């Protein structure tokens, strides 16, 4: 066990509410009759279906392939028949629909023949990344970024430290806690693979000190593999929100800061979540694609809170009723944690790769009253882990002064919600910042568009000008040629006439 | 559904504007008791009058501005303005002085600029300065503690004095009123008296003005409570007091025969009230950490400059208002370094 080297400003000590969902071991969610699988469950381009309606598929069979570089494969979570490939509501804050593959399960849950497992050290790093991509693995901490990309540091970077994120700083969520308690060996399998793929020697597994069971489970498992996993240690850090956020975690563990608009790899660090590590371990050492995840179902309105290994595509309401939740049909609930999750309503939304927690009812909920004006108390600035000035950003976001919001570094906001939490006027600051960020993005896109249009227009004018010149030149040349030929003709005629004259003169003579 | 329920975070801390204001009022209680002890109960009458006037003015302005009454009348900010001004006014200040001051504070210094959160200048101090400039006689008529201890003023006497302008004993104000210790120190130093002999007079106590020193100490303790409860941050009061100590110590060491001691300045006039309760008004003070230090130090220095070389005996109010003007500038140049920048 080693000590953290740094800390970050601000942050909050929150009531974790973790015990609600850690009484029971991880349970399996019953197989649903219908699984709805969005083609995009990750950051990047949506996958492309490779099955048709009516096709019979087996558990673990690929049903959609990666489209472009930033994309991954998608697999059937159970055996059955593809019944639809169409637009379905997806768990997204916008409430919009997107392309999904619907699978009616046959109840047999029959696996496809998994490839024989091989010793991964006989594979190249590239092959390992390819396998991880084909296994459909994305960051399971919540962001859903394709993991194989983060395992490719490129030729210009060397990785000094691999950080395994078992912090889980948001209240209520316990899926990482439980996977560490129960599947520490699987996580270490993944760490072995990642260390090999990244050629990195140092690895730290970071856990908050409010998870003593997870800490001892990880240390115990690590102790058994000391020869294989040298220079891998568990780092226990104080419980403070938002330490689990990648940038803050790096600051706490290493004392270094990721450059603004940069990536951890720029300072030689790669971070992966414990759940992702487990999935990578299963994929490489057992050949299993990612078809399920652990979902925490908890909240003050959930009677039997706990963690559930759930197949992707399982409708959320099945999971909720399985946990005996007091909830009206279509009453909104939170996907993710209470600080950074989002409100969803709609019973048939499916569990996706990034769905870490379903939260129904919280203590200390944000008030229903309208906010008071900002009294400039500065508590938000004190709480901000990135040292922004939220009240200035609020002021400029409200007045849509986007240029000013950029001067005050709006884009560095990680939307952790600390500012809104501490605000005595109960202003939903992050709401305004999201708005201003989106507006800024739109503006950038618009600027890009108009820039492109201008460049195209300029090019066109240039082209037209060139064509015109070319035309004129050709005309001039033609004229000249014409004139020359005319002159030559005249000359010839004159010569001819002269010759005739001479001839006739001679004749006369 | 309100915005706060539409998107994350869905949790909310316990901090509330009203709670801040209540804590602030609570922290004033010991010092107010001390004022009553030394200057009689008149401050309580002035305070009640000020609060009632402030709430009426606030309600009127909210009505005129078409704003909801309940959230803004219960936020406590008008009451805090009223209480602070009532404390700053001299005991037995005539009722109309209080009313004029409060109406000006609420209507002009606060609501004309947009109400809670939008006023660039501290309303209580704007009113105080207005009164000081317009009614210098009434604003500098302080009852000497010595006279009061011989002839204590009871509640009905104070009422009569405030509303009828008469003292029960039939004496006029001018016969028993006198200068504040700060005022006396300034004028007598001007008359080439040595500060150490000035402070031997009955107007003075152990370190500063008799009574005043204890009131200031109670204000400071109340302020410490506010810092402990995190209603205010330590930066402004500490910077203010350190600046005041530094400059007064410097001049005192250079010229002890013409300047009062740092302790005298710390415990005189409105130093502690200003440092912990006025300069820390979040709406009108600087907001960044570094900015607050600059702001506090500025108030401290200006207070001293005005007290010693300016035309008024105390300088807190002017100093706060001048620094209020500089807040946008200070905030702009003291932004913290953002992560990764």
Residue A357 has phi, psi (to 5 degrees) of: -155, 140
- Residue A423 contacts B, CB cutoff 8 Å: yes
pLDDT band at B129 (very low <50, low <70, confident <90, very high): very high
User: Does residue A381 lie in a domain region?
Assistant: yes
Contact at CB, A338 and B282, closer than 8 angstroms: no
Of the two residues A4 and B308, the one the predictor is more confident about is: B308
User: Does residue A124 lie in a domain region?
Assistant: no
CA distance linking residue B107 with residue B123, whole number of Å: 9
- Residue A212 contacts B, CB cutoff 8 Å: no
Contact at CB, B282 and A381, closer than 8 angstroms: no
Burial of A125 (0-12, 13-18, 19+ CB in 10 A): middle
What is the pLDDT, as a whole number, of residue A34? 94
Minimal C-alpha gap between B340 and chain A (Å): 4
pLDDT tops 70 at residue B173: no
Percentage above 70 pLDDT, chain A? 98
- Residue A341 contacts B, CB cutoff 8 Å: yes
- Residue A392 contacts B, CB cutoff 8 Å: yes
User: Does residue A272 lie in a domain region?
Assistant: no
What is the pLDDT, as a whole number, of residue B176? 53
Residue of chain B with shortest Cα separation from A371: B4
Residue of chain A with shortest Cα separation from B335: A389
User: Does residue A410 lie in a domain region?
Assistant: yes
pLDDT tops 70 at residue A226: yes
Domain extent, residue A412, equals 369-468
pLDDT tens-digit readout, A98-136:
999 999 999 999 999 887 777 888 889 999 999 999 999
Torsion of CA A345, A350, A355, A357, to 10 degrees: 60
- Residue B328 contacts A, CB cutoff 8 Å: no
Cross-sheet strand order for the sheet of A74-75: A48-49, A62-65, A74-75
- Residue B283 contacts A, CB cutoff 8 Å: yes
pLDDT tops 70 at residue B71: yes
Give the mean pLDDT of A177-200. 94
What is the pLDDT, as a whole number, of residue A311? 95
Work out whether the CA dihedral B340, A239, A141, A146 comes out positive or negative.
positive
CA A437 to chain centre: 17
User: Does residue A245 lie in a domain region?
Assistant: no
What is the pLDDT, as a whole number, of residue B1? 42
Contacts of A117 (CB under 8 A, 6+ apart): A285, A286, A287
Among candidates A376, A408, A431 on the partner chain, residue whose Cβ is nearest the Cβ of B3: A431
What is the pLDDT, as a whole number, of residue A384? 95
pLDDT tens-digit readout, A467-482:
999 999 999 998 888 8
Contact at CB, B282 and A368, closer than 8 angstroms: no
Please say whether the beta carbons of A348 and A315 come within 8 A: yes
Look up residue B113 and give its two tokens: 């600029």
pLDDT band at B191 (very low <50, low <70, confident <90, very high): confident
Interface size, chain A vs chain B, as Cβ–Cβ contacts under 8 Å: 168
Q: Across all residues in chain B, what is the average pLDDT? A: 88
User: Does residue A444 lie in a domain region?
Assistant: yes
Give the mean pLDDT of B108-129. 94
pLDDT tens-digit readout, A74-85:
999 999 999 999
Contact at CB, A14 and B335, closer than 8 angstroms: no
Q: Where in A291-415 does DSSP place strands (E)?
A: 292-298, 306-311, 333-335, 342-344, 357-359
Work out whether the CA dihedral A130, A136, A137, A143 comes out positive or negative.
positive
CA distance linking residue B158 with residue A473, whole number of Å: 105
How many other β-carbons are positioned within 10 Å of the β-carbon of residue B114?
13
Look up residue B99 and give its two tokens: 């009313």
pLDDT tops 60 at residue B150: yes
Give the mean pLDDT of B30-52. 93
What is the pLDDT, as a whole number, of residue B187? 77
Q: Which of A310-314, A337-341, B160-164 has the lowest mean pLDDT?
A: B160-164
What is the pLDDT, as a whole number, of residue A201? 86
User: Does residue A154 lie in a domain region?
Assistant: no
Contacts of A323 (CB under 8 A, 6+ apart): A297, A302, A303, A304, A305, A306, A308
Please say whether the beta carbons of A374 and A428 come within 8 A: no
CA distance linking residue A243 with residue A180, whole number of Å: 18
DSSP B276: I
User: Does residue A8 lie in a domain region?
Assistant: no
pLDDT tops 60 at residue B4: no
CA distance linking residue A259 with residue A265, whole number of Å: 10
CA distance linking residue A285 with residue B71, whole number of Å: 61
The count of domains in chain A is 1
What is the pLDDT, as a whole number, of residue A394? 95
Burial of A335 (0-12, 13-18, 19+ CB in 10 A): buried
How many other β-carbons are positioned within 10 Å of the β-carbon of residue B300?
32
Packing angle between helix B235-254 and helix B289-309, nearest 10 degrees?
40
Helices (H), A313-428: 316-322, 379-383, 390-398, 402-407, 418-422
What is the pLDDT, as a whole number, of residue A497? 79
pLDDT band at B171 (very low <50, low <70, confident <90, very high): low
Residue A349, CB-side half-sphere exposure with 13 Å CA sphere? 27
What is the pLDDT, as a whole number, of residue A121? 87
Burial of A498 (0-12, 13-18, 19+ CB in 10 A): exposed
Minimal C-alpha gap between B255 and chain A (Å): 40
Q: Across all residues in chain A, what is the average pLDDT? A: 90
How many other β-carbons are positioned within 10 Å of the β-carbon of residue B251?
17
Interface test with A, best of B2, B3, B4, B16 (most A CBs within 10 A): B4
Q: Which of A272-276, B91-95, B289-293, B309-313 has the lowest mean pLDDT?
A: B309-313
pLDDT tops 80 at residue B166: no
Please say whether the beta carbons of B53 and B47 come within 8 A: no
Write the DSSP assignment of B208-229 as a string of letters.
Answer: SBTTHHHHHHHHHHHHHHHHHT
Among candidates B7, B17, B19 on the partner chain, residue whose Cβ is nearest the Cβ of A430: B7
DSSP A264: G
Burial of A273 (0-12, 13-18, 19+ CB in 10 A): buried
First CA to last CA distance, chain B: 37
Helices (H), chain B: 3-6, 17-39, 42-64, 69-73, 77-88, 95-103, 123-134, 136-139, 145-150, 155-164, 173-176, 181-190, 195-198, 212-228, 235-254, 262-266, 271-273, 289-309, 316-333
| B 235-254 residues inside an 8 A Cβ radius of A | none
pLDDT tops 50 at residue B69: yes
CA distance linking residue A109 with residue A124, whole number of Å: 33
Contact at CB, B10 and A366, closer than 8 angstroms: yes
Contact at CB, A422 and B13, closer than 8 angstroms: yes
Percentage above 70 pLDDT, chain B? 91
First CA to last CA distance, chain A: 129
Contact at CB, A366 and B282, closer than 8 angstroms: no
Look up residue B291 and give its two tokens: 């900015």
Contact at CB, A379 and B15, closer than 8 angstroms: yes
């Amino acid at each position: 066990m080693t000590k953290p080297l740094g800390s970050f400003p601000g942050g909050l000590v929150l009531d974790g509410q973790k015990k609600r969902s850690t009484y029971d071991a991880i349970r399996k969610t019953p197989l649903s009759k219908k699984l709805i699988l969005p083609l995009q469950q990750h950051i990047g381009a949506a996958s492309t279906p490779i099955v048709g309606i009516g096709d019979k598929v087996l558990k673990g069979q690929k049903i959609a392939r990666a489209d472009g570089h930033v994309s991954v494969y998608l697999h059937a979570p159970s055996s059955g028949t593809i019944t639809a490939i169409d637009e379905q509501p997806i768990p997204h804050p916008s409430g919009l629909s997107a392309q999904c593959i619907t699978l009616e399960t046959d109840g047999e849950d029959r696996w496809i023949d998994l490839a024989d497992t091989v010793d991964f050290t006989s594979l190249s790093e590239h092959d390992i990344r390819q396998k991880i991509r084909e296994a459909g693995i994305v960051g399971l901490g919540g962001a859903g970024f394709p993991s194989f990309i983060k395992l490719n540091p490129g030729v210009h970077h060397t990785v000094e430290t691999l950080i395994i994120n078992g912090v889980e700083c948001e209240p209520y969520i316990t899926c990482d806690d439980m996977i560490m308690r129960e599947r520490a060996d699987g996580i270490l399998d993944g760490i072995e693979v990642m260390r090999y793929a990244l050629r990195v020697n140092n690895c730290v597994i970071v856990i908050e000190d409010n998870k003593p069971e997870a800490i001892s489970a990880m240390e115990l498992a690590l102790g058994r593999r000391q020869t294989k996993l040298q220079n891998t240690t568990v780092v226990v850090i104080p419980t403070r929100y938002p330490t689990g956020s990648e940038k803050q975690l790096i600051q706490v563990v290493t004392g270094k800061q990721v450059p603004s608009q940069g990536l951890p790899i720029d300072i030689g660090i790669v971070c992966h979540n414990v759940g992702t590590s487990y999935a990578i371990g299963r994929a490489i050492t057992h050949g299993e694609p990612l078809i399920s995840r652990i979902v925490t179902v908890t909240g003050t309105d959930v009677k039997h809170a706990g963690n559930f290994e759930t197949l992707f595509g399982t409708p959320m309401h099945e999971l909720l009723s399985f946990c005996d939740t007091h909830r009206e049909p279509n009453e909104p609930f939170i996907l993710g944690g209470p600080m950074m999750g989002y409100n969803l309503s709609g019973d048939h939304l499916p569990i996706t790769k990034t769905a870490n927690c379903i939260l129904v009812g919280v203590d200390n909920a944000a008030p229903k009253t309208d906010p008071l004006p900002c009294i400039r108390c500065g508590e938000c600035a004190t709480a901000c882990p990135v040292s922004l000035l939220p009240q200035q950003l609020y002021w400029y976001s409200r007045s849509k002064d986007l240029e000013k919001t950029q001067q005050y570094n709006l884009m560095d906001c990680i939307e952790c919600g600390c500012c809104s939490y501490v605000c005595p006027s109960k202003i939903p600051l992050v709401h305004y910042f999201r708005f201003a960020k989106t507006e800024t993005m739109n503006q950038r896109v618009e600027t890009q568009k108009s820039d492109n249009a201008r460049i195209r227009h300029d090019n066109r004018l240039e082209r037209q000008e060139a064509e015109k010149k070319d035309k004129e030149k050709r005309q001039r040349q033609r004229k000249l040629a014409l004139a020359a030929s005319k002159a030559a003709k005249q000359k010839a005629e004159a010569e001819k006439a002269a010759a005739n004259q001479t001839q006739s003169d001679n004749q006369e003579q | 559904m309100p915005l706060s329920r539409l998107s994350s975070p869905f949790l909310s801390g316990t901090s509330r504007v009203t709670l801040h204001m209540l804590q602030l009022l609570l922290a004033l209680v010991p010092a107010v008791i001390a004022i009553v002890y030394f200057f009689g109960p008149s401050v309580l009458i002035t305070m009640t009058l000020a609060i009632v006037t402030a709430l009426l003015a606030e309600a009127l302005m909210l009505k005129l501005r078409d704003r909801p009454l309940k959230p803004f009348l219960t936020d406590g900010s008008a009451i805090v303005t009223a209480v602070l001004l009532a404390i700053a006014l001299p005991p037995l200040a005539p009722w109309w002085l209080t009313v004029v001051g409060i109406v000006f504070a609420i209507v002009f210094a606060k609501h004309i600029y947009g109400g809670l959160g939008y006023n660039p200048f501290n309303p209580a101090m704007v009113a105080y300065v207005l009164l000081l400039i317009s009614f210098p006689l009434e604003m500098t008529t302080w009852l000497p503690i010595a006279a009061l201890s011989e002839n204590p003023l009871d509640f009905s006497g104070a009422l009569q004095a405030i509303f009828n302008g008469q003292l029960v004993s039939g004496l006029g104000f001018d016969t028993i009123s006198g200068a504040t210790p700060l005022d006396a120190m300034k004028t007598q130093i001007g008359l080439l008296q040595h500060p150490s002999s000035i402070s031997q007079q009955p107007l003075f106590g152990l370190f500063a003005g008799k009574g005043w020193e204890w009131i200031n100490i109670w204000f400071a303790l109340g302020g410490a409570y506010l810092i402990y409860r995190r209603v205010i941050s330590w930066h402004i009061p500490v910077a203010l007091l350190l600046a005041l100590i530094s400059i007064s110590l410097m001049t005192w060491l250079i010229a002890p025969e013409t300047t009062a001691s740092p302790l005298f300045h710390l415990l005189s006039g409105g130093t502690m009230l200003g440092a912990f309760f006025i300069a820390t008004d979040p709406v009108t003070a600087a907001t960044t950490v570094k900015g607050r230090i600059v702001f506090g130090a500025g108030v401290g220095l200006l207070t001293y400059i005005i007290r010693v070389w300016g035309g008024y005996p105390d300088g807190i109010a002017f100093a706060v208002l001048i620094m209020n003007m500089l807040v946008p500038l200070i905030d702009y140049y003291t932004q913290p370094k953002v992560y990764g920048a």
